[in-house]
């Protein structure tokens, strides 16, 4: 039997990390000690009390049933309280908060819930690949919005043509940003909300790195803008903030009609997060303080500085990120991000993510992750320095 992919699946390439993982596996089979600095996942564990809460909840017989579709009241109110404490944002836990099985499914499903064929979806370039993949599956027209170094990797809103704005249904933003490490200010978000109102565009702000920040920087939520809930939703996640990537706990917050549409889509596709995980996630939101987060972030900042020092020795340009888990480095002349990542992997066993994975604006960049144990970061940088400096 011949299996033919649907037209909708043919519109999306295989997920870039699946392809890179195959290359890494082949090298490891040859005995190479590969250091994966391409993956954006925390390497450290979640707080001990959160793990204890999970284990204890899992011991209870009634915690193993289907979890329902809307998230437990405990988890929803923990998210709402967290947004009140952390950002001063008031949300109705019942109608303006929806737990997700990791934020990635929410990014995908919201697009399927709201976008029709030929609608325009504005995606940052470079940007997290799911925004455009979801739009392509929906048959929408993806319009990349360039994020240039000259503009601090923020979109130039004034440069968007009126024709595009008129047709646009969704605008994706993500700050602190993957892959560039850029951050956005509240006045910038105010301009975005103003634009969205003027052109009737829903803003989807993907914000999983709001608590992965450095040097005293505190990232805002777009929901802090007055009236943002009229035209915006924000996605957040415990994957990076609490080192819980494998747990799959995310959330959509904001406009209640959008939340209802997302729930309608999701409840036809999946069923809620395992109840003990929802309980432990609520414990994480309520009990893990900013001091734990600050200590963890200090470790990332130390790794960031080790990597930046090596890049400087190589003559590579990179901004010092105030947030996110990444360094976005311009590759040396004569290389593309792909060819540089290939050469580094072959000659040193260190794996960087080629910037092209995030869009054509990433062609001359690589993304280097901070989610690698510090001694392995040191080892990787020693290998790179020995190979590429004379
Ligand atoms: C910008 C961005 N959005 C969303 C996600 C997905 O996060 P989650 O683990 O909550 O699905 C990631 C993960 O790397 C990310 O970098």
Q: Which of 178, 180, 357, 358 to mutate to test the pocket of ligand 1 (most atoms within 8 A of CB)?
A: 178
Q: Which residue's alpha carbon is nearest to atom 4 within ligand 1?
A: 104
Per-residue pLDDT of 150-179, as tens digits, reads: 999 999 988 999 999 999 999 999 999 999
Angle at Cα 77 formed by Cα 72 and Cα 83, nearest 5°? 135
When pLDDT is cut at 50, 70 and 90, the band that residue 111 belongs to is: very high
- Residue bearing the bigger pLDDT, 20 or 80: 80
Single out the residue of 24, 30, 19, 46 nearest to residue 285, CA to CA: 46
Q: Which of 36, 39, 126, 128 to mutate to test the pocket of ligand 1 (most atoms within 8 A of CB)?
A: 128
103 lines ligand 1 (CB under 6 A): yes
Per-residue pLDDT of 275-316, as tens digits, reads: 999 999 999 999 999 999 999 999 999 999 999 999 999 999
Q: Which residue's alpha carbon is nearest to atom 13 within ligand 1?
A: 40
206 lines ligand 1 (CB under 6 A): yes
Domains of the chain and any CATH numbers:
7-45+291-388 (3.90.1150.10), 48-287 (3.40.640.10)
| Cα-Cα-Cα-Cα dihedral sign, residues 182, 183, 187, 193 | positive
369 lines ligand 1 (CB under 6 A): no
Percentage of residues in the chain with pLDDT exceeding 90? 95
The alpha carbon torsion through 94, 99, 100, 104 (nearest 10 deg) reads 100
Write down the pLDDT at residue 81. 98
When pLDDT is cut at 50, 70 and 90, the band that residue 325 belongs to is: very high
Report yes or no on whether pTM surpasses 0.95: yes
Q: 250 CA to middle of ligand 1, Å?
A: 9
Atom of ligand 1 nearest to the CA of 240: 9
When pLDDT is cut at 50, 70 and 90, the band that residue 228 belongs to is: very high
Q: 103 CA to middle of ligand 1, Å?
A: 6
Atom of ligand 1 nearest to the CA of 41: 14
Q: 122 CA to middle of ligand 1, Å?
A: 18
């Amino acid at each position: 039997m011949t299996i033919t992919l649907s037209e909708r699946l043919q519109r999306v390439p295989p997920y870039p990390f699946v392809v890179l993982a195959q290359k890494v596996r082949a090298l490891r089979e040859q005995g190479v000690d590969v250091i994966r600095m391409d993956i954006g996942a925390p390497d450290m564990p979640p707080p001990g009390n959160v793990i204890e809460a999970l284990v204890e909840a899992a011991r209870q017989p009634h915690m193993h049933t289907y979890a329902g579709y809307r998230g437990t009241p405990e988890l929803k109110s923990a998210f709402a309280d967290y947004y009140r404490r952390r950002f001063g944002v008031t949300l109705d836990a019942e109608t303006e908060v929806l737990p997700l099985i990791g934020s990635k499914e929410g990014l995908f499903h919201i697009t399927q819930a709201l976008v029709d064929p030929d609608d325009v979806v504005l995606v940052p370039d470079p940007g997290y690949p799911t925004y455009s993949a979801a739009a392509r599956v929906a048959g929408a027209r993806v319009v990349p919005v360039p994020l240039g170094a000259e503009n601090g990797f923020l979109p130039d809103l004034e440069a968007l043509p009126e024709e595009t704005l008129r047709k646009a249904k969704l605008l994706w933003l993500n700050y602190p940003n993957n892959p560039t490490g850029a951050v956005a200010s509240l006045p910038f978000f105010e301009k975005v909300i103003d634009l969205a109102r003027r052109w009737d565009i829903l803003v989807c702000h993907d914000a999983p790195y709001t608590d992965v920040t450095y040097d005293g920087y505190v990232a805002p939520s777009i929901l802090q803008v007055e009236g943002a809930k009229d035209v915006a939703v924000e996605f957040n996640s415990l994957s990076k903030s609490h080192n819980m990537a494998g747990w799959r706990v995310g959330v959509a917050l904001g406009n209640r009609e959008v939340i209802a549409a997302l729930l309608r889509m999701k409840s036809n596709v999946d069923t809620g997060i395992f109840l003990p995980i929802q309980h432990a996630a609520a414990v994480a939101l309520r009990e893990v303080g900013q001091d734990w987060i600050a200590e963890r972030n200090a470790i990332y900042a130390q790794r960031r500085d080790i990597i930046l020092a090596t890049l400087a020795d190589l003559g590579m340009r990179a901004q010092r990120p105030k947030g996110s888990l990444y360094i976005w480095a311009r590759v040396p002349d004569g290389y593309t991000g792909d060819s540089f990542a290939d050469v580094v992997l072959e000659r040193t066993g260190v794996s960087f993510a080629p910037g092209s994975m995030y869009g054509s604006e990433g062609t001359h960049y690589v993304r280097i992750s901070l989610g690698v144990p510090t001694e392995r970061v040191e080892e990787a940088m020693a290998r790179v320095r020995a190979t590429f400096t004379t």
